Structure 1
Amino acid sequence: MKLRQLRYFVTIVDAGSFSRAAQVAHVAQPALSQQIADLEEQLGITLLQRSARGVSATAAGERLYVEASAILRRIERLPEVVLGQGEEVEGSVYLGMASSLVSLLGGPIMGACRTALPKVRLKFSSAGSLQLAARIREQTLDLAVLFEGEPFAGCVRVPLFERRLFLVRRASGSVRPGSITFQELAGLPLVLPNPPNITRVVLDRLFVQAGFEPHITAETDLSTGMLAAVQAGVGDGILPLGGTDELPGIFFAQAIEPAVSLTAGIVSSAETPLAAAGEAVRDFIAGFVKKYLADHPVSGVESAAE
């Protein structure tokens, strides 16, 4: 098995087609196809399945993709590890961020990091918190800024802040002011996030602990879909209060007691130490986020316990 074959294989899976992968890898498509055919013959298994929509990995191919990606990233980091940390940190860092945090922190973090660490190149991606935690464990990401209900297994974290969840309802004269107890949610029609979703994981656990099954009238992937369902009278949503700040008067948010919060943190693998560039980015983000939120307060966001 050759390193070149692994690199081509990962490129094909990322690109979703042989033709696009050939352009990215700057190699003729027949030569690319031959390398993959040789790799499949060596392993004695089919790694890629072809269809009219492109190319995707088989189950065995998915496993190889995870391992090959981790190997290639480690090789990419070798110069940084060998040379050590000089006067100025440099290298590439694969950074993931929870989709629900991108609009709040994505731009500020990338801009400030570029200024503070000019020789560090961030390779940025976004996904759900559960998906990002899996990628940290698979070592296809160096760092991820995400939400946790409880610490993810296989990850170490630096807590950044707590973000409280609120019951969001249509504004009307029938909605009483003040907070609402978690037990009172049992009698309400609820619009909740589709699983798998970290907010849903936390809520489902709390429903079980409270001893009742929620009345779920709808499920949605996005907070915008939840707000649309709430506005249409489908039910009440549970989400961060900050997501409704741009729609005053349309929605009414009630604090849930006792407080239901998610912890935002920056996590890395518990098994593989970060290289110097990864450590620098982690430490920079930890300090930057706390200062940024102090200067730009967000509803329902509080400092996290260390």
Structure 2
Amino acid sequence: MINVVWLRTFCTLVEVGHFTHTAERLHMTQPGVSQHVHKLEAQLGVDLLVREGKRFSLSEAGERLYDHGQAILGSLSNLEQVVSDDPPYTGTVRVMSPGSVGLKLYPQLLALQSEHPGLVMDYRFAPNADVEAAVARQAADIGLMTSKPVSAEVVSQPIAWESLLLVTPASVTDPNWEALMALGFIDHPDGSHHADLLLGANYPEFQHSQLFPKKGFSNQIGLILEPVSLGLGFTVLPAHAVEAFPKPEAICAYPLDHPVSETLYLCTRRDKPLPKRVEMVIARMPRWL
């Protein structure tokens, strides 16, 4: 393999055309320049220069080496720039979160990408456990969770709080215990957890969500309120999911007398330096959420 330092010395000598001036440009001694060229010739087994006293010209092998050597040195220079370059508005940002947070955050990220087309937003909706696992194995740059992570590979900080809301059909004017029992529960992946938090803080009769007749289930965050809007049952959801529902006139949302909020944690991989584009997105998230 050709020594890059010797190659750079040779190409500079060809460009400058003088051993002394080449030594000055490279901050070397003149014998050092000559030594690099001799080592390169010995390694390749050819004469690169045709020496005529203090002057020289290129041999045919020297011309070929100079042509290809310039391209190699140029590529190495570009490689250094590519490796060290860390632009804040170029590259992919991988984000994962539960669905309700995604309904709030994803449109903001798309608006940012529209402003800076060099960005690529890779957004995945997933439950807390999957978000934590993805951040730990470096499959996601940013994770948002509604529970504090337990993995040693993940570091987190509280970034926002999201209210839980009781959601009934618009026809319900008094969400008392009897009305909820008559309606029945529209369940979802976090339904029992959300019901335990909000209903447990507001209804003395509440023990667990299985007390209610089960009237449906959906794991699609954008569809959970569809059966509620049709009068088929009630549910408990984070506020962002309720705000995103396209038919607000068909539902009623109640924070209840004792409001309950979930803490939203921003999670990243521990001890991994963040690219500037990821830092830029993280800096904007508090005002989006």
TM bucket (normalised to shorter chain) is: 0.5 to 0.7
Q: Does 1:191 align with 2:190?
A: no
- 1:220 offset after TM fit, Å? 1.5
1:112-171 CA-partner distances (Å, limit 9, x unpaired):
3685795xx546131223222221223322222x341x3021232233321111111112
What percent identity do the matched residue pairs reach? 17
Q: Does 1:152 align with 2:149?
A: yes
Q: Secondary structure at the match of 2:249?
A: coil
Distance 1:205 1:157, change over 3 A: same
Normalising by structure 2, we get a TM-score of 0.53
1:146-203 CA-partner distances (Å, limit 9, x unpaired):
341x30212322333211111111122x5228xx79xx96786221213xx4x54444
- The amino acid across from 1:284 in the alignment is M
Indicate the residue corresponding to 2:58 in structure 1.
none
Bigger radius of gyration, 1 or 2?
2
Distance 1:128 1:111, change over 3 A: same
Q: Secondary structure at the match of 1:265?
A: strand
- How many aligned positions are there? 198
Alignment map for 1:283-298 (pairs within 5 Å):
283-292=279-288
- The 8 Å contact of residues 190 and 236 in structure 1, kept in 2 or not, is answered as yes
Root mean square deviation, CA, Å: 4.0
Distance 1:289 1:190, change over 3 A: same
Distance 2:197 2:238 in 1: 18
Which structure 2 residue ranges, 5 or more long, are not aligned? 1-78
Alignment map for 1:1-306 (pairs within 5 Å):
88=87, 92-112=92-112, 122=120, 124-130=122-128, 131-144=130-143, 146-148=144-146, 150-154=147-151, 155-172=154-171, 175-176=173-174, 189-194=184-189, 197=190, 200-204=192-196, 212-214=207-209, 215-217=212-214, 218-245=216-243, 246-270=246-270, 273-277=271-275, 280-292=276-288
Task: Kindly indicate which of the two structures has a greater share of residues assigned to strand.
Answer: 1
- The amino acid across from 1:164 in the alignment is S
Normalising by structure 1, we get a TM-score of 0.51
1:188-226 CA-partner distances (Å, limit 9, x unpaired):
6221213xx4x5444457778987122141222124433
Distance 2:200 2:240 in 1: 27
Which structure 1 residue ranges, 5 or more long, are not aligned? 1-78, 294-306
Distance 2:235 2:185 in 1: 6
